[in-house]
Structures are given as structure tokens and as C-alpha cells.
């Protein structure tokens, strides 16, 4: 686990004015990739509403040692090389950036010259994704969705033993703000003799956290639970768009495929494990649940394997936007509802020797809470499409309509720590194409 | 569909002596990537037992136009750029190579200088794989495996409508001859109260064909059935290693994961659609089966959507090799057993707008035949592990033992055409590591 140190001190402020409020104070400093007017993608660190260009910083002579190595690694068009370096150089760069961005820091003029307002750049996908794996660690989601698909058998016997996961599609992962086109798929009504190909009528979001993988493990080499976090480069929000009608018809016996792989949206800012250090919590299990198998368990992991991050989903319909209404919160949840931690996911994923590589993406699975208002998907919010939710505009929704915009957000806060956030993971639903 | 032309004329011979017999005559000319003594990976074309270096050929001045462009694209360390060019340049290069390699061709000395015996090089993975998708088009496999996992419901209701597929792991795809380490996984006996982490006891092979994707389709843009083949760059053999005990415990509800992603082996030579043109057959369906939905159907596809390739699996145990025995054939099957064609797989995969990219890999699924001796996995050959097969050495097998070596091979032949082959897709099982 990463230690809490002076870079987390909530009393410290940055001389970058916009860092004084919002998700991106001095204590956060997430990585990302942006392209300016020249279209060239460049690695940056976000502070307030600005992006600090790491190529410029690497050329400035203001960094030394591991911090310089990290800035050089992040200077290119993707963060894969930075991710591969692991926590040492990343932490060194965090400390160096802290020293340069804190109130009263030296070299402010030189550093200010490397800052670009985010309104002047395009924010891009932060890494070249080799493989994308999606898990299923939201036990409340698993139970309530299971009840819809398999009323007699909502939570399968393996759930409390196996961190269930499946491979998703890397090529269709897009960064926040890229629209999602309503996909076609085979739909079959229970009483219909045959399926039809048509635009999905049950398009849904899924509220997830993602992690970006850092240093690789070689094929054939499992990662032990106490080393698992050293393979995590950072965190993001992830929306695992899902076509529920397609999923219901196609998913047996090999799992979801076209119901999911038309698009996945991630937030652009890579929050580091270092930034999230103050928000670690013990990992535990409800009374009566089995302990994880030994390979997924350790004293250190039990002490601090969990994460406490508040999650929110808001919806905005086309009519709401036309009427000037704000996006409406429909879900508030938490990373506390993860039945398995990301460390356990890394260890389980590699337990058969499977190799994870820098820039690989893991999704948590839908992070629903146990209570009404904490459901991480419309499938749950609308009880399988039977019970529409009503929006302040008077509109109702069971599933997403064209023009609906879904915004995921996440924030970590606790007494004695500076609040930090993930920014937004947002996308609007575009109408289906004419096909075939 | 690619036309049969002079490059397929079975009466033509190459001046490369080793092309006179075996899988790689003048009519084949598959692409691959090899590394010589300098370790530098280079794109090549295989003829007989030699590799023709395309970087050298591109520099030789012997090519022009599209053929030159294709050779330049294939000169680097992966074939992704060549794949992206599509069939025009690839076909031009095939014709140019044919003209240079045929008996009596001019410039033989210059071309001979670009040939390296394969025994002097390492043969590498031909492309950087973005995403790997595995399908399930072997209906005999689906039915007999379904009967083992779900005796009451062997072939699910969606099978004859949906080309069932799932995303596999790209990072662990290895080229033929790399050993496969027996993976650990959660194993749970039906009557055990809890699973244990242990080396799989039911390690299996799966006999598959693979295709390499050529030109991409943009996200949101389905590929019509009559354009689907233009997105295929070539074909290979694929062994989808599977841990059946892990699979049985983990696969519900999201499909196979750690049971498969510890390793997939592909053959190194990329057979082009052009080389396989003489072996196209009509696509049809058994009497009484539903016609494919319109998006998966066309007159052209019905006329020539199928492929006729003979497939074989051989096993060699450590004892057999020590005793000097040849690998023993345990399965003979055919691509005729594909319930869906690769064109249908491309069209289905993209029907929701999912984007395929150059170098993506699609597996067919296990290509078992209907008869004894045509089973594409040990799970089927041993009737779920209940009925061991006996080898000429007197050894028996239900599943793979350490030291067992599995060799997949494939050959296409018919009267009036030169026989061509895929070479071998081979790997030996190494013992499990000590873990945890």
C-alpha cells in the first residue's frame, strides 16, 4: 500500500488558481493525454482546469532522477511507457510536481508556461489498451441482475469464491465525451419463433471503476496478492454500455459479446494509487461469508485492500438540455460495494499465469449498492424494465433513449484529507444507423 | 471471393527445390515473420523450406506498383501494415512472387540471395494482435460439449441463429513451438464444500482455424456479408488450450476466462485468401435448419462462402519421443464442419458497429466432425474424461499430461489443384509452477 505523506496534506494549496476547488487540487495530480492545436498527443498532468505538459517539463531541467525519467516516459502520445515504470518513478514525479505546483514554489513562471487550459485541448484516451477485462465484483448488482436472468438462482455458487470476469473489447473503448451509437443486435421475444436484427430497445449504462495496469507480469508468472497493487498504474471511471435484449439472447453459454463490445467509455484522468492513498479502507467480508482462498488473502490486504470512493450517475435527456435543466442524479453508490478488490482481481487474473501488460484495462463490474437509489444500471433502477423511473422533466425511463446523456462521476473524501475527484465519464446516445 | 487464376495452376513449379513437395509449393506463398541471427524481426514469404525476406525484395528493384507497396508494408517486424492494405496489394505481390519464383524465372540469383533456410531463423508471431475473439462454430463440438455441461440442453436455442463468440486474451497468444505451462486454477469437486487452487487436472487442446483481420471497419460501421471477406487478411491454425475443470467452475454466468487465457497457440504462416481460392465450397445448411438472418446471408455467400480444409491432430507423449515413435494421429476433421463461415463471423462481429482492426485474430471454435475420430478436443475424445483413449505406446489419456505435445496441421487439396498446407501448430505441456 502506498503511504500517506506530505503530498496529501490537506492544508497545502497550489498557486494554480483553478486547483483551489473541484476534483483536481494539488493532492490529486492525475495523468492524461491531450492534443492541442497541432493535433499531437502529449502526456500531461492535470492541476485544476489546466494540463501541465510533461514533455515540456522533461525538457525544462526542473526535474532530476526518477522524476525526470517518469516525465520523459509520459511525454509521448500514450502513457503506456510511464505505466510500465511502476510506482517508484511515478511517486518521485508526484513529489517533484507537488514541489513545483505548491504555493510559493520556485520556477513558477517556467512551469506556468507549460500549462494549457483544458478548454483549448482535446482530451484523449490515456493509453493504448492491449487487453480489456471486465469483472463482476458488485455483489448487489450480481444478485439483482441474477434474479432477473435466473429467478431461481440469482447468485451463482461460484460468486463468493471466484472473482468472476470476462474479456471485453479493447478496440471500442473510447474516452469520455465520444458519443455512443445505439447498436443493432439480434433481439428475440420469448414467444417469437425467430430473432430479428434491430436496434437495441434496452440500452443501458453500467457504473464501474477501472484500473490501468502498470508493470507487466511475464506469461506463466502469477502475481502474489501482496505484490498486486504494484501492477496498478491508476484508476478511472468506466461505463460498460450494455444492450440488455441482445445480452439475454446471446449470452449463453460463452458470456456477453455483442451486447457489450459496441462501446465502453472511460474517464480520461488516471488517478494514481498515490493520490488515493488516504482513501484506503480495510477489506472485509460479511459475517458468514467464506474467507477468500489463501492466494487471494493476506494480512496486509485485509488491513487496507479496500477503497472508499463515492460514485454518482446523472442523466440528462435531450429535452432537459433544451430546457436548460441540470443533469439529474439517479444513482449514488460507492466502491465499498466491491466484493473483491482490484488487488484480488490482479492476483486472480494472473493466477493461471496470464500476463497483464502496461495499459491493459480492468473494469470492476457494476458497483450497485444494496439500497434503492444506489443501483448502478437502469436494468436495476427500472426492475428489469418493468418500473420506469421518473425524471424532473416529467419524462420516464426504463432504458436509454436517443439523446440521453449519462455522466459518471467519483469523488474521494474523508475528514483530514483533501477531497479529490475523477472528473466525469460522459457520453450521449446517438440514434442507430440504418442497417442492414 | 478471390478468383482462381494462373497462380493456382497445379502444373507450375518453383525453382526453389524444397517447394516441390510439402505444404508450401509455389501456389501457397504464405506470409510470416522471422528473426535471424541479428534478432531483428522481418516479414517474409515462405516457399518450400525457406523464407524470402520482403525487406530485401522491396529494396531489390524487382517489384513495382502495388506489389512493391505490399512488400514494403511487410518488411517490418509485424504484418499489421500489410494486413491493413487489403487484397489488392496482397494479390499484386502474390503474382509478382509467382513470376519470380516459377521455374525459368529471371533474376533467380538475386532472389535466391534473399532466401534464408527456415532452420536458420526463429519463426515469430506474425502480427501484433489488438483483440482476439473466439467463436463456437463447430456444431458437433457445441452439441457434444453441451451434453457434458448441460445434459438436458446440449445445443442452446440461440445456436442456429447467433454465431456465438466471446472475447479471448490477446496477450497470451503465442506462436507454434512455445511451450504451454500447465495452469493453476480454482477446482471444485461437485461434493466438495469449497474449491482449491491447484494445477488443472483436465488440460485439453481445441482444434481451430484462425483468421487474421485485414482492413479495419470504423467503430459504428457494420461490414456487410458480401464485403466481409475483404476484411480477412489470412488464415492460420489455432489451439485454444482449455482447463476443463477450471472452466466448469468459473464459466457461469460470464463465460470462460482463466480456463482459456493462460495460452493460445497459432501457426506462424498466414495463408492468404488468394491461396485458398481453389478450396472454396458452397455454404449450406442441413435440411430443416433455419436460414441465416438476412444480414448473414447472400447469394454470393451461399455459392462460395465455405472452405474445404482437412484438419488433423497428433499427440506425442514424452515416452513416445524417448522411444523414437512418431506423433500419433488422434483426430481428423474438416473446416466443412463450420456451422458459420468466417465471412459470417466478420459480419456478425461488426453488426453492432464493433470495430475490427488489422492484426485482430478470430478463432473458429473447435472444429469437431460428427463421427468417432473427428473430435476436436480430448473432452470429446474421452467422453468427458470417462473413456480414455489408448495410444500406440500403450499409454492412455483422458486429458493432457506433462510432456505431451499436440500438433495441429491442415491441408487443402482437390483434383485439379495443387495441394497446400498450413504447416504445424505445435506445443508441449510444461509442468505447473510451484504456486502459491
The percent of residues above 70 in pLDDT, for chain A, comes to 100
Show the cell assigned to B260.
Answer: 482459456
Distance (Å, whole) CA A241 – CA A377: 9
**pLDDT tens digits, A112-155:** 999 999 999 999 999 999 999 999 999 999 999 988 877 888 89
Which pLDDT score is estimated for B344? Answer: 98
Whether CATH 3.90.25.10 fits A132-430? no
What is the secondary structure of A359-396 as a DSSP string?
T-EEE------SSTT--SSHHHHTTTTTS-EE-TTS-E
B302, B376, B310: which is closest to B344 by C-alpha?
B302
Tell me what the mean pLDDT of segment A374-402 comes to.
97
Q: How far apart are CA A364 and CA A100, in angstroms?
A: 34
Query: In the beta sheet, which residues pair with residue B213?
Result: B232
**Using one digit for the tens of pLDDT, what is the confidence trace for A187-219?**
999 999 999 999 999 999 999 999 999 999 999
Indicate which of A164, A187, A352 best probes the interface with B, i.e. most B CBs within 10 Å of its own CB.
A352
The predicted-structure confidence for B427-436, as pLDDT tens digits, reads as follows: 999 999 999 7
Taking phi over 0 as left and psi of -120 to 50 as alpha, with beta for the rest, A240 belongs to: beta
pLDDT value of position A1: 52
Report the SS3 class of residue A25. Answer: coil
Q: Pick from B161, B196, B354: which is nearest to A261 by CB?
A: B354
Residue B391 contacts residue B320 (beta carbons within 8 Å): yes
- Average of per-residue pLDDT values in chain A: 97
Cβ distance B402 to B433 under 8 Å? no
In this predicted complex, what is the ipTM?
0.97
Percent share of chain B, pLDDT over 70: 100
Contact yes or no for A435 and B150 at CB 8 A: no
Closest CA to A133 of A375, A356, A372: A356
Is B164's CB within 8 Å of A250's CB? yes
Which sequence spans correspond to the domains of chain A?
6-124, 132-430
Active site residue A141: yes
Residue B211 has pLDDT above 80, yes or no: yes
When pLDDT is cut at 50, 70 and 90, the band that residue B10 belongs to is: very high
Is B1's pLDDT higher than 70? no
Q: Which of B263, B109, B93, B298 is nearest to B184 (CA)?
A: B263
**Can you list the positions of beta strands (E) in A169-309?**
173-175, 180-181, 184-187, 196-199, 203-204, 207-213, 232-239, 242-243, 264-266, 280-281, 306-307
Alpha-carbon distance of A429 to A431, in angstroms, equals 7
Contact B162 A433 (CB under 8 A): no
Domains A6-124 and A132-430 share a fold: no
Nearest CA in chain B to A194: B161
Q: Under an 8 A CB cutoff, do A246 and B130 touch? A: no
Per-residue model confidence (pLDDT) at position B24: 98
**Percentage with pLDDT > 90 across chain B:** 96
What are B155-201's pLDDT values in tens digits? Answer: 999 999 999 999 999 999 999 999 999 999 999 999 999 999 999 99
- HEC letters along B206-231: CEEEEEEECCCCCCCCCCCHHHHHHH
Tell me the pLDDT tens digit for each residue of B302-312: 999 999 999 99
- Does pLDDT of B149 surpass 80? no
**Statement: residue A2 has pLDDT above 80:** no
pLDDT at residue A427 tops 60 = yes
Q: Which of B141, B184, B231, B349 is catalytic?
A: B141
Predicted confidence at residue B76, as pLDDT, reads 85
Q: Stretch A300-311: mean pLDDT, rounded? A: 97
pLDDT tens readout for residues B75-131: 889 999 999 999 999 999 999 999 999 999 999 999 999 999 999 999 999 999 999
How far out from the chain centre does Cα B135 lie? 12
pLDDT score of A151: 85
- Return the pLDDT at B436: 79
Residue A156 to residue B253, Cβ atoms within 8 A = yes
Q: How close does chain B come to A111, measured CA to CA in Å? A: 37
Which fold is adopted by the domain A6-124? SH3 type barrels. (2.30.30)
Interface test with A, best of B167, B174, B359 (most A CBs within 10 A): B167
Q: B246: which chain A residues are within 8 Å (Cβ-Cβ)?
A: 352
Residue-wise pLDDT tens digits, B111-123? 999 999 999 999 9
Q: pLDDT digits over B325-371, tens only?
A: 999 999 999 999 999 999 999 999 999 999 999 999 999 999 999 99
Amino acid at each position: 500500500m502506498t503511504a500517506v505523506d506530505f503530498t496529501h496534506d490537506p492544508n497545502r494549496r497550489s498557486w494554480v488558481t483553478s486547483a483551489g476547488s473541484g476534483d483536481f487540487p494539488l493532492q490529486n495530480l492525475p495523468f492524461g493525454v491531450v492534443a492541442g492545436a497541432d493535433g499531437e498527443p502529449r502526456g500531461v498532468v492535470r492541476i485544476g482546469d489546466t494540463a501541465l505538459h510533461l514533455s515540456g517539463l522533461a525538457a525544462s531541467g526542473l526535474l532530476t532522477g526518477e522524476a525526470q525519467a517518469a516525465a520523459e516516459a509520459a511525454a509521448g502520445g500514450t502513457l503506456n511507457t510511464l505505466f510500465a515504470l511502476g510506482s517508484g518513478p511515478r511517486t518521485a514525479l508526484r513529489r517533484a510536481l507537488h514541489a513545483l505546483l505548491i504555493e510559493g514554489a520556485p520556477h513558477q513562471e517556467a512551469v506556468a508556461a507549460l500549462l494549457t487550459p483544458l478548454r483549448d485541448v482535446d482530451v484523449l484516451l490515456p493509453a493504448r489498451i492491449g487487453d480489456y477485462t471486465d469483472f463482476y465484483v458488485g455483489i448487489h448488482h450480481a444478485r439483482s441482475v441474477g434474479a432477473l436472468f435466473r429467478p431461481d438462482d440469482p447468485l451463482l455458487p461460484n460468486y463468493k469464491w471466484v472473482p468472476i470476469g470476462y474479456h471485453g473489447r479493447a478496440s471500442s473503448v473510447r474516452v469520455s465525451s465520444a458519443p455512443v451509437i445505439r447498436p443493432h443486435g439480434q433481439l428475440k421475444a420469448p414467444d417469437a419463433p425467430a430473432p430479428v436484427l434491430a436496434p437495441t430497445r434496452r440500452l443501458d449504462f453500467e457504473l464501474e471503476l477501472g484500473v490501468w495496469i502498470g508493470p507487466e507480469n511475464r506469461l506463466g508468472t502469477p502475481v502474489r496478492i501482496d505484490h498486486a497493487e504494484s501492477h496498478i498504474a491508476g484508476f478511472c471511471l468506466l461505463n460498460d454500455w450494455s444492450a440488455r435484449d441482445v445480452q439475454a439472447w446471446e449470452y449463453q453459454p460463452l458470456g456477453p459479446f455483442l451486447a457489450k463490445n459496441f462501446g465502453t467509455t472511460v474517464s480520461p484522468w488516471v488517478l494514481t494509487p498515490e493520490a488515493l492513498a488516504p482513501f484506503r479502507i480495510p477489506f472485509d467480508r460479511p459475517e458468514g461469508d467464506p474467507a477468500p482462498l489463501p492466494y487471494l488473502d493476506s494480512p496486509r490486504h485485509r488491513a487496507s485492500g479496500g477503497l472508499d470512493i463515492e460514485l454518482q450517475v446523472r442523466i440528462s435527456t435531450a429535452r432537459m438540455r433544451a430546457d436548460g435543466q441540470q443533469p439529474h442524479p439517479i444513482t449514488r453508490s460507492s466502491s465499498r460495494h466491491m466484493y473483491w478488490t482490484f488487488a484480488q482481481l490482479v492476483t486472480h487474473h494472473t493466477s493461471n499465469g496470464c500476463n497483464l501488460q502496461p495499459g491493459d484495462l480492468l473494469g470492476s463490474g457494476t458497483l450497485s449498492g444494496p439500497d434503492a437509489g444506489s443501483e448502478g444500471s437502469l436494468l436495476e433502477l427500472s426492475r428489469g424494465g418493468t418500473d420506469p423511473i421518473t425524471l424532473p422533466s416529467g419524462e420516464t425511463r426504463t432504458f436509454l433513449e436517443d439523446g440521453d446523456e449519462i455522466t459518471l462521476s467519483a469523488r474521494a473524501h474523508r475528514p483530514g484529507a483533501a477531497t479529490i475527484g475523477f472528473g466525469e465519464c460522459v457520453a450521449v446516445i446517438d440514434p442507430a444507423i440504418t442497417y442492414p
